[in-house]
Chain A
């Protein structure tokens, strides 16, 4: 079994939704949108002999390979190293499902539809083993909702129980009777449980297990065509969070003139209280379909045509149902190349969209026969090449994780064309709106109390957005453009002028959203304006405070005196506004030999009872050579010195 790949797979979507700290380099391979991760988990696949069976737990992202024999050997694989196990247990017959509790302490195991077993495992050996039987009902399945809390779904009821390992029994905490449960679907992060009830085939009951309670959220009928099949099957329903809201995705097979047209109906669970039909994905294809969710995009795989469609449900109206078509043309997944490195074992041939594929949420693809488990990944470069409308592209990319470099690359290419300045402005606005909401969220979090008491449900799912702050904009876009200009070494400063337009547009966008601009943006702008010798224009920018005051900028301005005589004036104004530049102002005035105004200024600012500045003034007056000024300063500093007739050394 390969264990060495497990660290890497964390960068895929199965891992934390916070986004990887270091982004992979841009791939310029733009001919596909989706691929299965090169890092895979291998496991013992299902064999024809029936000796190996495989089951998967979505909640923990664990694959169980169960090899029957004298003893049953179980290998548990997962992208998370702490969730990988290997153990043996007594051979007791076929296993339908097995799931670890969230802390990996207890393993629940189902072999028949009227009993469940609990095991604890230490050092690969089963240490405790007890079971519970169900009478008069059939166990459809079970889910863990806490370390020791488990929910049984039987055909007649939902039972929340606490498992007590020490005494080897379970206690019912809560029980809810339901009339004929067909199947269930569970979303573990917030313990949402969707059950199909009744005989109509399209009635659903949405429940949430919370604080040792089973809460009924809503009972509703899904609006699907039941002509072609009797009931909605659990394979056709996905319960997951898309764009920060729990959604129920239902495959709908519409029979139109004897042709089956498929669509995906999306129900949104609003504020965990109301279920509403909000979106319909138009597929316009026939075939066998499976769903995945990658980075808030809904992927519809068609096994027959061997293509996948990508849907984005950002456009949402509050009243009507929104109909969506694919973001891009349907295309096949990227062909999978197995890594050659794995020793003498010949790489297995992977057939894409094979019949042995099973999709799990959000983005897991499993080939049960070969024994591979992959994460489905987006190839953003493919989208960059296909989405021609740049604004739409940036909007799309801003909602994806790990898209920073793609966005900055797109922005750079737009910024290089002066004719696209208007578009660039709008794109900056888009990016900065995202940036601002990130900043606001950040401030809110800083101010508010630790997030435990208020609304734990809302905090479970944090929408990920790609935030491009000023420093990444600076390093990824502006500095690169500037470097290119430095390389070109022509006398023409047109490029520099264009870059200053770009920077001003960016500053304008920040100012519109009242985000303070960072000094390095200004520094680059000033550099460009000095290169193009647009000093008067720089003067105007400073005059209207388009460039913020900083001491370093004031000092930079002072250094420009030889090239632009007005810059000391600007520097003095800036120091005055800053309110902390009194010492610098005094030095500047002394350097300009404005001894008397210097003395007056310092006394106005710091009062008459200090000695350093007056002495400096006296020195400056002496060097200045103007006897009247010297005398005036001397008289002011020391009025008793009239008798002191010593002439200054002129």
Chain B
């Protein structure tokens, strides 16, 4: 009894304390937020070519790009030297290249995107309490960082760089081996790219690096498809095109390797920026009727007397004649068409944009009406709020997910990380020749994650519901699969 009384007395004093000193309470709050672990952040990012600076004292020549830029040259060279040494060392054990090095505080990721070129990214591991139950003591939380995610981030960095500047080796070849141009291009590209990189937000979707297709019925799809054909037939200068609606792919005239890069760039960078710029322009002009062009990339206005060619040039690889293309993006409401026009000496004429505008605007508006009416007639089914899924088809890179809905909750994040682990497991199984599998994993939090793989498709489910038996979890998984995977062969 006395113990009880004593402890209640402590609570009382505490209560008094909280009530009478609001400042202290604020402090307490801050310390609470500090108890959240720090987020993953980049330590450095660099690119080097092993063929350069082979003689002692000239090692600096190897370095093509280094972030942060203000790093001491000695530090840069030490980092490069260490990476090279690790790669060499690892070669002794396995024919496969070195992927990652885990240390207590950091993780180092390796990628050799082209022969002799190495891209290295080092990230700081999160630092904080081991779990919410542990009140004291902080640690580096290496277990919370899935290497596969950051490997994917590194690959994406390369593929995006290649989209804009082309293959690294070809730039060197074009300059007789001189690295100046390549260095300049890498610097121009990566200083902006790394600025937008949100490492902490990366998850299993980065691993898949897929595209989301818009669900459409046969008729609407055929109309959209024929519209794209019509554009290419009417404007023979257009070599390839993509059609997107509301961030989903409707039609791709490019091959999967190219389309995933372009899709990521357009959806994650180009369109958000355009939206923001449009918004700001509207705010700035405060209601005066500024005519906003429907060209996301291209001229600002179709009546400009002084017109400069502003379209991005992108490098497409998996086509008959790889090379650079003008990327013209045209947007009517939620419908976006990306046109790829071969780059030659002459810039695109304003007249072409005018013709495109006349041709596309009305037809795209009609198409939007059709797509909208279909989507109204067939609304997407939503799942129970405590289950989330992610689907990936390794063959056509189609992804579908409901992960974004509950982002930021620590236990949910842990579940999503567990999905990456399941995926790694499946990848290893596939390597061994096992092409269909089903894996259940129970977390320490009593939540479940399920991974299914069949016919080159993967389906992962996180069930944030406690006290479920294996049978019940299986039922949940089966129901979601039946709902989401219609008309395909998916048997585990």
A: residues with CB less than 8 A from B are 418-419, 421-422, 425, 498, 501, 504-505, 507-508, 511-512, 533, 536-537, 539-541, 543-546, 565-566, 569, 572-573, 575-577, 585, 592-594, 596-597, 600-601, 604
In the complex, which residues 226-272 of chain B have their Cβ closer than 8 Å to any Cβ of chain A? 226, 229-230, 232-234, 236, 251-256, 259
B375 CB → nearest A CB, Å:
14
B365 within 8 Å of A (CB atoms): no
B-chain residues with CB within 8 Å of residue A565 when the two chains form the complex: 395
Whole-angstrom CA separation of A545 from B217 in the bound complex: 8
- A565 to B233 alpha-carbon distance, docked (Å): 29
A511/B396 contact (C-beta < 8 A), A505-B229, A573-B489, A592-B435 known: no
Name the distance in Å between B317's Cβ and chain A's nearest Cβ. 14
Query: Is the beta-carbon distance between A537 and B252 smaller than 8 angstroms?
Result: yes
Q: Is B216 in the interface zone, CB < 8 Å from A?
A: yes
Assuming the contacts A501-B229, A536-B396, A546-B218, asked whether A597 and B491 have C-beta atoms less than 8 A apart, the reply is yes
Identify B230's interface contact among A421, A545, A592, CB under 8 A: A421
Q: Could you tell me if A601 and B491 are in contact, using CB atoms closer than 8 angstroms?
A: yes
A511, B259: Cα distance in complex, Å: 28
Q: List 16 A-B contacts (CB under 8 A).
A: A501-B226, A508-B226, A511-B219, A511-B222, A512-B219, A537-B251, A540-B213, A541-B225, A543-B398, A545-B221, A546-B225, A573-B455, A573-B487, A596-B436, A600-B491, A600-B492
> Are the CB atoms of B219 and A418 closer together than 8 Å?
no
> B225, A504: Cβ atoms under 8 Å?
yes
- CB–CB B216/A544 < 8 A: yes
Q: How far is the CB of B291 from chain A (nearest CB, A)?
A: 27
Asked, given contacts A573-B488, A575-B489, whether A425 binds B255 with beta carbons under 8 Å apart, the answer is no
Q: Is B433 an interface residue (CB 8 A)?
A: yes
Q: Which residues in B have their C-beta under 8 angstroms from that of A592?
A: 435
Q: Is the interface of A mostly helix, strand, loop or mixed?
A: helix
Distance, CA A504 to CA B213, complexed state (A): 20
- Whether B218 pairs with A540 at a CB distance below 8 angstroms is no
Looking at the assembled complex, report how far the CB atom of B488 sits from the nearest CB atom of chain A, in whole angstroms. 5
Which of B230, B396, B491 is in CB contact (< 8 Å) with A566? Answer: B396
Chain B, range 33-64, C-beta contacts under 8 Å to A: none
A597 touches B492 (CB 8 A): yes
Q: With A565-B395, A569-B456 in contact, do A504 and B491 touch (Cβ < 8 Å)?
A: no
Q: B354: CB under 8 A from chain A?
A: no
Are A418 and B236 in touch, CB under 8 angstroms? yes
List A contacts of B492 (CB < 8 A). Answer: 597, 600
Complex Cα distance, B257 from A103, in Å, reads 77
B454 located at the interface, meaning its Cβ lies under 8 Å from any Cβ of chain A in the complex: yes
Question: B222, A508: Cβ atoms under 8 Å?
Answer: yes
Residues of B within 8 A of A572 (CB): 455, 489
Q: Which among A537, A565, A600 has the greatest number of chain B C-beta atoms within 10 A?
A: A537
Q: Can you list the 9 inter-chain pairs with the closest CB atoms, starting with the nearest? A: A566-B395, A544-B221, A421-B233, A576-B489, A572-B489, A501-B229, A508-B222, A418-B233, A597-B436
Query: Least Cβ distance of B128 to chain A in Å?
Result: 42
User: Given A585-B489, A593-B433, A597-B436, do A508 and B230 touch, yes or no (CB 8 Å)?
Assistant: no
Q: What is the bound-complex CA distance between A508 and B251, given in angstroms?
A: 15
B491 touches A421 (CB 8 A): no
State the CA gap A10–B260 with chains docked (Å): 64
Measured between alpha carbons, how far is A272 from B310 in the docked complex, in Å? Answer: 70
- Taking CB atoms, residues of chain B closer than 8 Å to A600 are 491-492
Residue of A nearest to B226 (CB): A508
Residue of B nearest to A572 (CB): B489
Is there an interface contact between A545 and B229, defined as CB atoms closer than 8 Å? no
Report Cα–Cα, A43/B454, bound state, in Å.
Answer: 82
Known: A511-B222, A544-B216, A565-B395. 5 other contacts (CB 8 A): A540-B396, A543-B398, A546-B218, A566-B456, A569-B457
Would B230 and A422 count as touching, CB distance under 8 A?
A: yes
Closest residue of A by beta carbon distance from B251 = A540
Q: How far is the CB of A341 from chain B (nearest CB, A)?
A: 51
- Indicate if the CB atoms of A504 and B395 lie closer than 8 Å: no
B102 on the interface (CB 8 Å rule)? no
- Contact partner of A421 (CB less than 8 A), chosen from B218, B234, B252, is B234
Cβ A594 vs Cβ B435 within 8 A:
yes
Q: A597–B229 Cα gap in the complex (Å)?
A: 41
B26 interface residue per 8 A CB criterion = no
B456–A425 touching, CB < 8 Å = no
Does B223 sit at the interface, judged by CB under 8 A?
A: yes
With A and B bound together, what is the CA distance between A418 and B398 in angstroms?
31
Nearest CB of B to A491, in Å: 9
| Least CB distance, B156 to chain A, in whole angstroms | 20
In the bound complex, how far is the Cα of B255 from the Cα of A498, in angstroms?
18
Contacts of B259 in A (CB 8 A): 536
Known: A511-B219, A593-B433, A600-B491. A543 touches B225 (CB 8 A): no
Distance (whole angstroms) from the CB of B385 to the closest CB of chain A:
29
With a 10 A CB-CB cut-off, give which of A511, A541, A604 has the most chain B CB atoms: A511
Nearest neighbor of B433 in chain A, beta-carbon distance: A593
Distance in Å: Cβ of A529 to nearest Cβ of chain B? 12
Among the interface residues B213, B225, B230, which one has the most CB atoms of the partner chain A within 10 A?
A: B225
**A533: chain B residues within 8 A (beta carbon):** 320
**Cross-chain contact B226 with A504 (CB below 8 angstroms):** yes
Q: Which residue of B lies closest to A565 (CB)?
A: B395
Could you tell me if A569 and B455 are in contact, using CB atoms closer than 8 angstroms?
yes
Measured between alpha carbons, how far is A597 from B488 in the docked complex, in Å? 15
CB closest residue in chain B, given A566: B395
Set of chain B residues within 8 Å of A422, measured between Cβ atoms: 230, 233-234
B218 to chain A: closest residue by CB: A545
What is the CB-to-nearest-CB distance from A607 to chain B, in angstroms, rounded to a whole number? 15
Q: Are A546 and B229 in contact (CB under 8 A)?
A: no
Name which residue of chain B comes closest to A510, CB basis.
B222
Please judge, given known A-B contacts A501-B233, A594-B436, whether A425 and B226 are in contact too, CB under 8 Å. yes
Residue of A nearest to B213 (CB): A543
Inter-chain CA distance A546–B436, complex, in Å, is 28
Across the interface, which residues of A come within 8 angstroms of B221, CB to CB? 544-546
Closest to A592 in B: B435
Residue of A nearest to B223 (CB): A508
- A504 and B230 CA atoms in complex are apart in Å by 11
A540–chain B nearest beta-carbon distance, Å: 6
Q: Report the bound CA distance from A422 to B362 in whole Å.
A: 14
Q: Mark B392-412, 1 if CB is under 8 A from A, else 0.
A: 010110100000000000000
- What residues of chain A lie closer than 8 Å to B253, measured between beta carbons? 537
Of A498, A539, A566, the residue contacting B233 (CB under 8 A) is A498
A566 to B257 alpha-carbon distance, docked (Å): 14
Interface centre among A421, A512, A577 (most CB of B within 10 A): A421
CB-based contact B396/A539 at 8 Å? yes
Question: Which chain B residues lie closer than 8 Å to A604 at the CB level?
Answer: 491
Is there an interface contact between A597 and B454, defined as CB atoms closer than 8 Å?
yes
**Chain A residue with the shortest CB-CB distance to B456:** A569
Quick one: closest B residue to A596, CB to CB? Answer: B436
B312 to chain A, nearest CB (A): 23
Q: Give the distance in Å from the alpha carbon of A169 to the alpha carbon of B95 in the complex.
A: 114
A390 to chain B, nearest CB (A): 16
Contact indicator B229/A544 (Cβ below 8 Å): no
Bound CA span A308–B254, Å:
57
Contacts of B256 in A (CB 8 A): 536
Q: How far is the CB of A534 from chain B (nearest CB, A)?
A: 8
Instruction: Note all chain A residues with C-beta closer than 8 A to B487.
Output: 545, 573, 576-577
A419–B234 touching, CB < 8 Å = yes
Query: Cβ of A425: which chain B residues have Cβ within 8 Å of it?
Result: 226, 230
Cα distance, A422 to B221, chains bound together (Å): 17
Scoring B residues 447 to 476 as 1 if CB is less than 8 Å from chain A, else 0, what string do you get?
Answer: 000000011110000000000000000000
Task: Find out whether the CB atom of B395 lies under 8 angstroms from the CB atom of A569.
Answer: yes
Instruction: Give the chain B neighbours of A601 by CB distance below 8 A.
Output: 491
Residues of B within 8 A of A512 (CB): 219, 222-223
